Amino acid sequence: MSAAIPFSAQLINLFAAVILLLAFAMLAQRRMPALVNLFALRR
C-alpha cells in the first residue's frame, strides 16, 4: 500500500507529522503548569 505513494509524498507527510507533533508538544508544555495547578487544587 505504501509503495503506491511516491517517496517525496511520504517524506512530506513525515515532515508534516513531525511538525504537528512538535507543535502539540510545545502547546502541552506551555499548558503543563496550569494543568498541574488544577490537579493540585483538586486534592
CB 10 within 8 A of CB 2: yes
Q: Determine the pLDDT at residue 2.
A: 60
Listed by start position, the domains of the chain span 2-42
Exposure string for 2-35, b = 16+ CB within 10 A, e = fewer:
eeeeeeeeeeeeeeeeeeeeeeeeeeeeeeeeee
Vertex 10 angle, CA 5 and 28, to 5°: 140
Q: Determine the pLDDT at residue 14.
A: 96
Grid cell, residue 25, equals 508538544
Tens of pLDDT along the chain (43 residues)?
A: 567 889 999 999 999 999 999 999 998 888 888 878 888 887 6
Q: Determine the pLDDT at residue 31.
A: 83
Do you know the residue count of the chain?
43
